[in-house]
């Protein structure tokens, strides 16, 4: 007969300091699924003042599940090494394990949960033993698991996708009260996945699936009225993908009188006939729209799988502003085929748009992306074998030489990547823009780049 387990779910600290603190929504979904038949505790190393060792000793879990992204990989592997010998089942989950499962097994984990395993993880964990996770279940494991047999063979059942995204509601009731006070803002997800396939993103693998609007509004109401947050971010990859769904969510927020400042992520390519949804969003309390502009160069956008959307940016931004909302534009330096001069067109575009905030990142072949599968095809070459360690640790490099020792781009040099930031600041300074470290509040005209360490203040766009 399968066992009732004590399961501790851990969200580790990132390898570099976070820019903000927010609830690990993925952990809450797994907690909701597991708590139907197991005893579950949550430990977020970013906001918990207790050492993990003390929590483990007090709770005595049968299994420890660690959910992490590539930015937390070094910390997660350290925890696996620390607890691998104490007889507990160690499970890795999250974005990095989904696309680097063998690495996780070799670093000390017994089992890797790949993708969205809410439907099956309670039964799978109940039937496993530390040190022998496959046993006679090799042929009966459902999709979403990766492990190693005693003879050294890997067993891989692929990546799971949850068929019903409304089946589980994130287990926010399992969060300790002190956690809620320490998170800079509320966070929830109204939809999963993405319909598009940008080369630098893995979100498109699972397809696009929406939750029922009423369920989304229920969760937002809980975040505002029970957790006490008045600033909330929707982490959907593209909140505005389905205008009818957006309107239904906004109507629910307005009907229930939920008052908070909220923000969303969006693509730029929204057809004019759908721009009326911006008015609906604004009336429901949306304050910020985070636009994935990425580049002002059309060829770069096409090569990145974004399509030629840049020319629409000024008109979309203007319409968002007319609705009463602010705009943050996200840019990427180092896209495939983009020279230094091509990247400068992004600055030209920012001068035309003058968004409230600008964030700039470096094009990175994160696990699961098309860039990751064949980086050199896209003109990117890592110069360190363990890039999850070195690149994350030194992502904010002190000089171009250090950066050049980690990664090389065919079409733009490390010196040009650093020079881009200087030129961005120089050209936008006359318009009142300041770096995030110089900003006195969370208002307008702020630039944050890959050379900045300070975190953004908690705003609806954080």
Does residue 167 lie in a domain region? no
Does residue 244 lie in a domain region? yes
pLDDT at 459: 36
Q: Which residue has the higher pLDDT, 129 or 81?
A: 81
pLDDT at 132: 45
DSSP tag of 349: H
pLDDT at 134: 42
- Going from the C-alpha of 53 to that of each of 57, 61, 63, 308, the distances in angstroms are 6, 11, 14, 51
pLDDT band at 460 (very low <50, low <70, confident <90, very high): very low
Q: Please tell me whether residues 208 and 122 are part of one structural domain.
A: no
Task: Give backbone dihedrals phi and psi of 209, rounded to 5 degrees, phi first.
Answer: -135, 130
Q: Which of 156, 171, 206 is the last residue of a domain?
A: 156
pLDDT at 289: 97
Does residue 353 lie in a domain region? yes
Q: Please tell me whether residues 82 and 227 are part of one structural domain.
A: no
| Domain CATH for 377 | 3.20.20.70
In contact, 9 and 42? CB cutoff 8 Å: yes
- Computed over every residue of the chain, the mean pLDDT equals 89
Does residue 169 lie in a domain region? no
- Dihedral (CA of 20, 217, 178, 176) sign: negative
User: For the segment 405-422, what is each residue's pLDDT rounded down to a tens digit?
Assistant: 888 999 999 999 999 999
User: For the segment 44-59, what is each residue's pLDDT rounded down to a tens digit?
Assistant: 999 999 999 999 999 9
Mean predicted confidence (pLDDT) in 139-167: 91
As a whole number of Å, the end-to-end CA separation of the chain is: 47
CA 442, chain centre distance (Å): 21
Asked whether residue 371 carries a pLDDT value surpassing 70, the answer given is yes
pLDDT band at 133 (very low <50, low <70, confident <90, very high): very low
Does residue 404 lie in a domain region? yes
Its pTM stands at: 0.91
Tokens 């005893």 correspond to 39
Asked whether residue 457 carries a pLDDT value surpassing 90, the answer given is no
Task: Give backbone dihedrals phi and psi of 74, rounded to 5 degrees, phi first.
Answer: -60, -45
The 3-class SS string of 433-444 reads: CEECCCCCCCCC
Q: Please tell me whether residues 190 and 283 are part of one structural domain.
A: yes
Q: Please tell me whether residues 190 and 150 are part of one structural domain.
A: no
pLDDT at 313: 85
Does residue 66 lie in a domain region? yes
pLDDT band at 206 (very low <50, low <70, confident <90, very high): confident
Q: Which of 141, 156, 171 is the last residue of a domain?
A: 156
- 3-state percent breakdown (helix, strand, coil) of the chain, nearest 5: 35, 20, 45
Q: Please tell me whether residues 200 and 140 are part of one structural domain.
A: no
Given strand 434-435, what is the order of strands in its sheet?
186-188, 231-234, 261-266, 286-294, 326-333, 357-362, 446-448, 434-435
Q: Are strands 407-409 and 434-435 parallel, antiparallel or unpaired?
A: unpaired
pLDDT at 254: 98
pLDDT at 266: 96
DSSP tag of 385: S
Rounded Cα distance between 273 and 311, Å, is: 17
Q: Which of 156, 175, 198 is the last residue of a domain?
A: 156
Q: Please tell me whether residues 39 and 96 are part of one structural domain.
A: yes
264 Rama class: left (phi>0) / alpha (psi -120 to 50) / beta: beta
Q: Which residue has the higher pLDDT, 106 or 137?
A: 106
Helix axes 276-283, 243-255, angle to 10 degrees: 20
Mean predicted confidence (pLDDT) in 339-368: 95
User: For the segment 79-107, what is each residue's pLDDT rounded down to a tens digit?
Assistant: 999 998 888 999 999 999 999 999 999 99
Mean predicted confidence (pLDDT) in 438-450: 79
In contact, 269 and 307? CB cutoff 8 Å: yes
Q: Please tell me whether residues 134 and 70 are part of one structural domain.
A: yes
Number of domains into which the chain is organized: 2
| Domain CATH for 112 | 3.40.50.280
110 Cβ contact partners less than 8 Å away, ≥ 6 residues apart: 89, 90, 91, 128, 130, 131, 133, 147
pLDDT at 462: 39
User: For the segment 33-43, what is each residue's pLDDT rounded down to a tens digit?
Assistant: 999 999 999 99
Rounded Cα distance between 83 and 89, Å, is: 9
Q: Please tell me whether residues 436 and 303 are part of one structural domain.
A: yes
Percent of the chain with pLDDT over 70: 89
Rounded Cα distance between 111 and 108, Å, is: 9
Q: Which residue has the higher pLDDT, 137 or 230?
A: 230
In contact, 10 and 24? CB cutoff 8 Å: no
The parent domain of residue 101 ranges over 6-156
Q: Please tell me whether residues 149 and 199 are part of one structural domain.
A: no
pLDDT at 143: 95
Q: Please tell me whether residues 196 and 98 are part of one structural domain.
A: no
pLDDT band at 451 (very low <50, low <70, confident <90, very high): confident
Does residue 161 lie in a domain region? no
pLDDT band at 298 (very low <50, low <70, confident <90, very high): very high
Q: Please tell me whether residues 139 and 102 are part of one structural domain.
A: yes
Enumerate the β-bridge partners of residue 155. Answer: 147
Does residue 461 lie in a domain region? no
pLDDT band at 129 (very low <50, low <70, confident <90, very high): low
Q: Please tell me whether residues 66 and 199 are part of one structural domain.
A: no
Which two three-digit tokens encode residue 62?
């049968």
DSSP tag of 335: -
pLDDT at 138: 54
pLDDT band at 391 (very low <50, low <70, confident <90, very high): low
């Amino acid at each position: 007969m399968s066992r009732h387990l004590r399961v501790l779910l851990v969200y580790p600290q990132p390898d570099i300091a976070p820019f903000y603190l927010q609830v690990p929504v993925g952990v809450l979904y797994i907690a909701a699924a597991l708590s139907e038949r197991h005893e579950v505790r949550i430990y977020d190393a970013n906001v918990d003042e207790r050492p993990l060792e003390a929590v483990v000793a007090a709770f005595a879990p049968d299994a420890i599940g660690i959910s992490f992204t590539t930015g937390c990989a070094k910390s997660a592997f350290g925890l696996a090494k620390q607890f691998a010998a104490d007889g507990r089942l160690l499970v890795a989950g999250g974005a990095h394990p989904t696309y680097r499962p063998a690495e996780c097994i070799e670093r000390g984990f017994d089992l890797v949960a790949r993708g969205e395993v809410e439907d099956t993880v309670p039964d799978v964990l109940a039937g496993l033993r530390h040190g022998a996770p496959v046993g006679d279940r090799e042929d009966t494991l459902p999709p979403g698991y990766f492990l190693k047999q005693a003879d050294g063979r890997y067993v891989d059942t692929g990546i799971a996708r949850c068929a019903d995204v409304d089946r589980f509601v994130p287990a926010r009731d399992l969060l300790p009260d002190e956690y809620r006070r320490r998170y800079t803002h509320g966070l929830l997800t109204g939809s999963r996945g993405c319909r598009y396939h940008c080369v630098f993103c893995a979100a498109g693998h699972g397809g696009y699936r929406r939750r029922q609007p009423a369920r989304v509004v229920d969760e937002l109401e809980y975040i505002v009225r029970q957790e006490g947050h008045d600033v909330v971010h929707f982490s959907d990859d593209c909140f505005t993908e389905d205008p009818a769904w957006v309107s239904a969510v906004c109507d629910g927020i307005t009907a229930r009188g939920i008052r908070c400042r909220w923000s969303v992520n969006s693509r730029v390519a929204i057809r004019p006939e759908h721009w009326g949804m911006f008015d609906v969003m604004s009336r429901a309390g949306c304050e910020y729209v985070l636009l994935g502009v990425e580049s002002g160069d059309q060829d770069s956008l096409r090569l990145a799988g974004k399509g030629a959307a840049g020319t629409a940016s000024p008109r979309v931004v203007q319409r968002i502003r007319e609705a009463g909302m602010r705009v943050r534009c996200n840019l990427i330096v180092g896209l495939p085929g983009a020279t230094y001069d091509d990247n400068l067109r992004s600055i030209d575009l920012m001068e035309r748009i003058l968004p409230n905030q600008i964030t700039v990142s470096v094009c990175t072949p994160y696990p699961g992306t098309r860039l990751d599968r064949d980086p050199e095809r896209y003109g990117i070459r890592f110069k360190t074998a363990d890039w999850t360690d070195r690149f994350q640790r030194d992502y904010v490099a002190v000089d171009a030489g250090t950066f050049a020792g980690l990664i090389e781009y065919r079409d733009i040099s490390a010196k040009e990547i650093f020079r881009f930031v200087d030129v961005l600041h120089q050209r936008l300074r006359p318009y009142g823009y300041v770096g995030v470290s110089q900003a006195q509040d969370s208002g307008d005209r702020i630039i944050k780049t890959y050379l900045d360490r300070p975190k953004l203040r908690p705003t609806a766009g954080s």
